[in-house]
Amino acid sequence: MPELPEVETIRRGLEKLILHKKIKNVVILCEKSFRGDPKWVVGQKMDRLDRRGKALLIQLSNKMWMMAHLRMTGQMIFEGGEKFAAGHPDGGFTEKMPGRHTRVYFDFEDGTHLYFNDQRKFGFIAVLDELGLAEDSFLKKLAPEPWDMKSEDFWGMLQRHKSAPIKAVILDQSNIAGVGNIYADEGCFYAGILPWRRCGDLEREESDLLLKGLCEVMQAAIDSGGSTMKDYVRADGTKGSYLEKFAQVFRRDGLECRRCGGMIEKTRVAGRGTHYCRGCQK
């Protein structure tokens, strides 16, 4: 899905647009994209927006929660006086809603709408009560947010996965929350670490630098409104600017490294496309 910075961008954008709006109706176009009973949300207001890792959490006035996982291709689109689309781009901003990838949408009492689009159907919205949220298997094993992690805890975590490639470990949400394929590559570049190195091979200093890199790179992405791909648009419809402005390696294979001038290369680590600079990363 969009990674932590993109979900945070969605949270901030939607907070301004849907807070305290009353849901008049829910339309489910794809059964597997919505878990729970629509009756639990109809007539409720959206009172609060939170985020944990890559999960978006919306609290309703009856104290139930809607948890949205955007996974690979999910996006949220608000249509009202203004339009806001964020997540996976896929024509969300320009296409007439509901579109061919709309899976669920909400009509608000004031005539505005919120659409959940998801091309690959990996994502979903789940309606849960307080207990269900507390017992959710994903949230339960989700590690702390990067900035809430102490460097010694991060180091200790790496020691528990000595033989695994560093990238596989930081992508695992039970080790650190919110890191996805872009920021894993960017964080490794920041720390000067080749992503396939085994955790047990890292020095303590490299571990500290990697945690710092993940925090800085994701904070910078939030500050600039989330990264963008050909189909990523942020909540108010303007394009995010992280990738074009700040990405050092992600999807830059074949291009010159901005730091050393060498060529960025691409390989496969932990089953994912992985970008790195031979000159800058050891």
Partner DNA sequence: CTAGGATCCTGTCAGC
Partner DNA sequence: TGCTGACAGGATCCTA
Residues at the site binding DNA, with contacts judged by CB under 7 A: 1-3, 5-6, 32, 53-54, 69, 71-72, 100-101, 119-122, 137-138, 160-165, 168-169, 171, 173, 180-182, 199, 226-229, 232, 240, 243, 268, 270-273
Q: How far is the CB of 127 from DNA (least distance, A)?
A: 17
For DNA, the closer CB: 108 or 116: 116
In the annotation, is 3 catalytic? yes
Choosing from 3, 6, 186, 206, which is the catalytic residue?
3
Spatial neighbors of 211 by CB under 8 A, at least 6 apart, are 146, 149, 151, 154, 176
Q: Which of 102, 115, 107 is nearest to 30 (CA)?
A: 102
C-alpha distances in angstroms, 165 versus 143, 147, 148, 171, 198?
Answer: 18, 22, 23, 10, 4
Q: How far is the CB of 110 from DNA (least distance, A)?
A: 30
In the annotation, is 54 catalytic? yes
For DNA, the closer CB: 181 or 207: 181
Cβ atoms of 165 and 197 within 8 Å: the answer is: yes
Q: How far is the CB of 240 from DNA (least distance, A)?
A: 7
Q: How far is the CB of 233 from DNA (least distance, A)?
A: 9
Using CA atoms, how far apart are residues 188 and 179, in angstroms rounded to an integer?
12
Choosing from 2, 89, 146, 195, which is the catalytic residue?
2
For DNA, the closer CB: 168 or 211: 168
For DNA, the closer CB: 27 or 30: 30
- Say how far residue 215 (Cα) sits from the centre of its chain: 14
For DNA, the closer CB: 21 or 252: 252
In the annotation, is 244 catalytic? no
Choosing from 12, 51, 52, 54, which is the catalytic residue?
54
Cβ atoms of 110 and 19 within 8 Å: the answer is: no
Q: Which of 205, 203, 193, 168 is nearest to 282 (CA)?
A: 193
Q: Which of 120, 125, 138 is nearest to 76 (CA)?
A: 125
Q: How far is the CB of 68 from DNA (least distance, A)?
A: 11
Cβ atoms of 234 and 80 within 8 Å: the answer is: no
Q: Which of 156, 178, 189, 175 is nearest to 277 (CA)?
A: 189
In the annotation, is 272 catalytic? yes
The DSSP 8-state label assigned to residue 147 in this structure reads: G
Choosing from 45, 197, 212, 272, which is the catalytic residue?
272
Catalytic residues: 2-3, 54, 272
